[in-house]
């Protein structure tokens, strides 16, 4: 009934392929989502809103109804890649952040703004 990219079919958990760690997609409000990472012997690391704002310093509105939303992308080695979206038309922000398992910290990978114009 739903297409291959339906949000209903998206994974809400992604296990690390070689380590005892899992990334979890967590809803924190009606529209906002974040990522929590559980790692054996280290507990839970939560990517919270204030940390995202510090990492990305987004322009534009980041509260409801256009909050920061996250989506788990993939594990590559010790890094978990997560995409982040915010804002509303005509300017929408997009970024990629990564959690490094060995350093136990988040870092910004990329950030861009897309401007859409009505024709």
Q: What does each of the 119 residues of the chain score in pLDDT, given as a tens digit?
A: 333 443 433 468 999 999 999 999 999 888 889 999 999 999 999 998 889 989 988 877 777 767 889 999 999 999 999 999 988 777 788 999 999 999 999 999 998 887 665 54
Model pTM score: 0.80
Give the sheet arrangement for strand 13-15, strand by strand. 13-15, 21-27, 33-39, 43-46
**Among candidate residues 102, 94, 111, the one with its CA nearest the CA of residue 76:** 102
In a domain, 3, yes or no: no
Element containing residue 21 per DSSP (H, E): strand 21-27
Please give the pLDDT value at position 116. 62
Distance CA 16, CA 48 (A): 21
In a domain, 72, yes or no: yes
In a domain, 1, yes or no: no
Coil, strand or helix at 96: strand
Task: Tally the domains of the chain.
Answer: 1
In a domain, 48, yes or no: yes
In a domain, 74, yes or no: yes
In a domain, 40, yes or no: yes
């Amino acid at each position: 009934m739903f297409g291959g990219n339906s949000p209903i079919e998206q994974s809400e958990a992604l296990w690390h392929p070689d380590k005892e760690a899992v990334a979890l997609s967590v809803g924190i409000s009606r529209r906002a989502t974040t990522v929590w990472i559980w790692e054996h012997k280290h507990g839970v690391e939560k990517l919270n809103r204030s940390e995202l704002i510090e990492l990305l310093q987004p322009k534009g509105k980041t509260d409801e109804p256009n909050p920061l939303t996250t989506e788990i992308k993939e594990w590559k080695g010790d890094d978990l890649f997560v995409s982040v979206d915010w804002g509303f038309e005509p300017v929408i922000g997009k970024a990629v952040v990564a959690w490094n398992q060995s350093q136990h910290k988040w870092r910004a990978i990329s950030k861009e703004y897309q401007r859409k114009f009505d024709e």
